[in-house]
Amino acid sequence: MGIKRLNHAVLYVSDVAGSAAFYRDVLGFRPKGDAASPHAVFAQAADSDNDHDLALFRRNLGQQRSGPFSPSGETPGPHQPAAGLYHLAWEVDTIAELRRIRDELAELGKLGMEEDHGIHKSVYGHDPDGLLFEVCWFVPEALLEARDREPGDGRLDWERELARGA
């Protein structure tokens, strides 16, 4: 058990629409949802069945919630990039493996946050240099419930997720 694959990359960009057009026209990424958003675009690679392979976020204006924590929209510090890599996300096969990684990150003091994204559940951590990463588990299709497809409050309910297993 362990990391299965790189699931997606998230980049801070200066022009979301321009970057989305570049990744669409040059590399074949298909935007999902509201591709006209000035704040963020999620996209799938041309031959991917992944939920999203790339996310483009408007340059870091303090919205980075899991790295150097700034939930109130404070101006990023000098060590936070205005453009560039926000985080990479690796995927695991089971919720139990996600929990194991979460517990290890917490023990090391490297856990950023935990979040329920609906169809996938995530923990965020920092490497020894402070770089942000995400580890996620996607709920298998057979276990998805209606509430997994609707916006929630983002809090990860470990008891619920571990009980449904997989």
**Rounded CA separation 112/36 (Å):** 30
Q: What is the pTM of this model?
A: 0.69
Q: What is the mean pLDDT of residues 59-78?
A: 54
Whose tokens are 């690796």? That residue is 90
Q: What is the DSSP string of 10-44?
A: EEEES-HHHHHHHHHHHH-PEEES-TT-SSEEEEE
| pLDDT confidence bin for 106, thresholds 50/70/90 | very high
CATH code, 3-164? 3.10.180.10
Of the chain, the percentage scoring pLDDT greater than 90 comes to: 22
Question: What is the per-residue pLDDT for 94?
Answer: 92
Q: How many CB atoms lie within 10 A of CB 74?
A: 13
Q: Where are the domains of the chain?
A: 3-164
pLDDT of 25-63, one tens digit each? 877 889 987 666 788 899 998 888 888 998 888 876 655
